[in-house]
Amino acid sequence: MPYPIERKLVIAVSSSALFDLSESHAVFLEKGPKVYKEFQTENLDKTLCKGVAFPFIRRFLNINTRFKNQTPVEVVLLSRNSAATGKRVLRSIANYGLDITRAAFMEGKSPYEYIPAFNASLFLSANEEDTKKAINTGYPAGTVLPSTVVDDDGEELVIAFDFDGVIADDESEAIYKT
């Protein structure tokens, strides 16, 4: 019996956070939407390179291997991209063996409005504007900053929190500063 999405810990991620779409984006900016669509169609079978959020998402999905009967976590893709890019993104997901089966491609529109429809507890995006819109609407979101992707194929998920007095008391920060 499938584990209902309402009972899962769901993370929504944008395609630009999961994969390096810088080459595609440059084509869009320099040559326009028509050439961009042609570029994606021509490169449909070319697997996209891993993006900044890829190692985190891969490790997060690995939680399900420890709970095979329940699969308590899920990742959904929420993307500003077009359906043409969506085909390439979904093929890349399959090529990397990521268990991501739900996605929304918004054809240029911000996808943050779909966060509650997918029961997402967190939205990760490389688009700061989308992240701000989500936060301003009351959804938890984070901007994934550009950096070198290091994916050592390890399985352990390590998360560090820097609360800044928002979630937890900042007494330790005050002591550290003095």
pLDDT tens per residue, range 44-79: 999 999 999 999 999 999 999 998 888 899 999 999
CATH of the domain at 103: 3.40.50
Nearest-angstrom CA–CA distance, 37 and 146 = 24
pLDDT at 10 over 90: yes
What pLDDT does 42 receive?
Answer: 94
Mean pLDDT for the stretch of residues 30-49: 92
Domain interval for residue 144:
5-177
pLDDT for 6:
85
**pLDDT of amino acid 129:** 94
- Residue 43 or residue 175, greater confidence: 43
Q: Tally the C-alpha atoms within 13 A of residue 160's C-alpha that lie toward its C-beta.
A: 1
Give the CA angle between residues 97, 159, 152 to the nearest 5°. 45
Q: For the chain, what is the domain count?
A: 1
Q: What is the pLDDT of residue 116?
A: 94
* Mean pLDDT for all residues in the chain: 88
Which of 152, 162, 164, 169 is labelled catalytic? 162
- DSSP string for residues in 97-160: T----EEEE-TTS--GGGTGGGTEEEEEES-HHHHHHHHHTT--EEEPPP--------------
Higher pLDDT, 124 or 174: 124
> Alpha carbon of 134 to those of 41, 120, 125, 128: distances in Å?
31, 11, 10, 10
Rounded mean pLDDT, 116-126: 94
Q: Is 45 assigned a catalytic role?
A: no
